[in-house]
Amino acid sequence: MKTDILILGGGSAGFGATYRALQHKGLSVTVVDANEGFGGTSTYGGVNCWEPGYGGYGVHHILAQRLMASGQGFVGKSYGAFSEDTPWGVSKRCDDPYEETLIRSFRNGQEQRRFHFEPQAMADTMLELLRESGNFANLHLLFNSRVENVTTEERKITAVTVNTPEGTLEIHPKLVLDCTGDIAAARLAGCEVIVGEDAQTRFQEPNAPENPQRNVNGMSLVFRVTPCDPDFADTMPDELSSVDISDWKAQLYATNRPAACFNDYPNGDININMLPTLPGECFLDLPREQVERICRARVYAYWNWVQTQKHFRGYRIAHIFPMLGVRESWRLVGQYVLKEQDLRNGFSVELGAGHSVAFADHPADIHGSSNKKGGMTMFARYGIPYECMLPKETDNLLVACRGSSFSHIAASSARLSRTMLAWGEAAGEAAAQCMEQSCAPASVDVKLLRKSLHISENEP
Ligand SMILES: Cc1cc2nc3c(=O)[nH]c(=O)nc-3n(C[C@H](O)[C@H](O)[C@H](O)COP(=O)(O)OP(=O)(O)OC[C@H]3O[C@@H](n4cnc5c(N)ncnc54)[C@H](O)[C@@H]3O)c2cc1C
């Protein structure tokens, strides 16, 4: 099978890339994703909330408008305070406009607004927008399919092998966008990657540790609870009773940790996101099945504790999301690495202004063990340069997802869903421009790219 643009991963970034590439008539676009629809972590991983943050101009505005109009999304704000009796944050519907969700930096918790949504409605709306593009006939969707291998020749990916429900397929793309989060294609193509904390000496980041460890931002298995009889309490299912979580449970009872976010859904259910469920490095070190079993057992133990020890009654577990919530794994070491200094500066210190194609203002947000200095460092709005999606080794590959060329500290801030949507949009637009101008991603005119993305000249 041949395609112009092959987008691997249909999460926030992958959807953004597909949306943008399809605006260019005549290009053939193929999307491969292990899930059965779009949205990735933000839908199948249960992260059904866009945390406050500057998302810039982009498709998130249309998605939010549609979801709000259909009653499947709303603006939420924090209520109540984190206490020993309620060691979780609560976010509920408020009447503020969507624009209020677009500011994070230096707002206190009570002033912050976020966007809650129904995951299926989000996945459906994403597909609906692609159908409306006018180029839908040129889009080939391969869901429930996994990238297995890539073939490279002379600095180019010439083929990607994909396992589909119908069998193995070899795809020959002109350009590849790796939006898999775990940068599957970049790793298979032999690009340089890193994992865990970066030493202070590596990127000279002010808050990086002198003695880094393989700490990776923690992962969470997100779940959903629904109203039920107040006398009901969830118990551990038989198939998980052999999973030993005794130490973790003892710590939960003794320390009230992990904390969690309880976010309302439009229908009155609640989304529960433990912070975190398991250390992030377990995703890299343990077999996937083992990780999933431990996380599932912790979900049941946690919710039983909330019901019986914290007296939050009247809700039972309705759904555990099928995709593990992975905040961080492998990261590309690309042509430019986004660093803490850039986040503090507002744009790349080394490249200067004019290179940013996506924006964020989220703090350095690490869950679980960390040697980072300075706690949750706050950042004002900053731009992410296009060069962070360019690998050094492969000429027809763009890496646009949470695993792009970010330091550990920068990744902990830049990873949020709306930033990834915009980051993906930039990658899709860049890929389309490469096809139309017969140039390589490294030769893209970033000024023109920013203009196409409606990024104001005042932005860094
Ligand atoms: C638990 C948790 C809570 C979070 N909370 C928030 C929050 O409240 N607000 C917020 O804005 N952000 C939050 N984030 C961050 C944000 O949700 C993610 O960083 C963001 O969604 C990542 O987008 P992405 O496109 O890079 O990756 P993903 O959305 O993970 O997409 C990657 C896609 O690639 C596919 N894929 C991976 N490997 C393969 C393969 N080999 N073959 C085929 N397909 C593959 C996956 O199926 C997936 O669909 C949270 C993240 C986590 C994990």
What are the structural domain ranges in the chain? Answer: 2-76+116-210+328-452, 223-320
Task: For residue 373, report the distance from its CA to the centre of ligand 1, in Å.
Answer: 26
The predicted pLDDT at position 57 comes to 87
**Closest ligand 1 atom to the C-alpha of 326?**
53
**Closest ligand 1 atom to the C-alpha of 145?**
43
Answer whether 9 contacts ligand 1 (Cβ < 6 A).
Answer: yes
The predicted pLDDT at position 443 comes to 98
Answer whether 58 contacts ligand 1 (Cβ < 6 A).
Answer: no
* CATH of the domain spanning 2-76+116-210+328-452, picked from 1.25.10.10, 3.40.50.300, 3.30.413.10, 3.50.50.60: 3.50.50.60
SS (H, E, C) the chain: CEEEEEEECCEHHHHHHHHHHCCCCCCCEEEECCCCCCEHHHCCCCCCEECCCCCCCCCHHHHHHHHHHCCCEEEEEEECCCCCCCCCEEEEECCCCHHHHHCCCCCCHHHCEEEEECHHHHHHHHHHHHHCCCCHHHEEEECCCEEEEEEEECCEEEEEEEEECCEEEEEEEEEEEECCCCCHHHHHCCCCEECCCCCHHHHCCCCCCCCCCCCCCCEECCEEEEECCCCCCCCCCHHHCCCCCHHHHHHHHHHCCCEEEEEECCCCCEEEEEECCECCHHHHHCCHHHHHHHHHHHHHHHHHHHHHCCCCCCEEEEEECCCCECCCCCEECCCCCECHHHHHHCCCCCCCCCCEEEEECCCCCCCCCCCCCCCCCCCCCEEEEHHHHCCCCCCCEEECCCCCCECHHHHHHHCCHHHHHHHHHHHHHHHHHHHHHCCCHHHCCHHHHHHHCCCCCCCC
The predicted pLDDT at position 55 comes to 83
Q: Quick check: 49 pLDDT over 90?
A: yes
Answer whether 222 contacts ligand 1 (Cβ < 6 A).
Answer: yes
* Tens digits of residue pLDDT in 225-267: 999 999 999 999 999 999 999 999 999 999 999 999 999 999 9
* Tens digits of residue pLDDT in 334-384: 999 999 999 999 999 999 999 999 999 999 999 999 999 998 899 999 999
Answer whether 273 contacts ligand 1 (Cβ < 6 A).
Answer: yes
* Tens digits of residue pLDDT in 65-113: 999 999 999 999 999 888 999 999 999 999 999 999 999 988 888 899 9
Answer whether 449 contacts ligand 1 (Cβ < 6 A).
Answer: no
* Top mutation candidate among 19, 180, 302 for ligand 1, by most atoms within 8 Å of CB: 180
* Top mutation candidate among 150, 220, 416 for ligand 1, by most atoms within 8 Å of CB: 416
User: Which residue's alpha carbon is at the smallest distance from atom 19 of ligand 1?
Assistant: 415
Task: For residue 39, report the distance from its CA to the centre of ligand 1, in Å.
Answer: 8
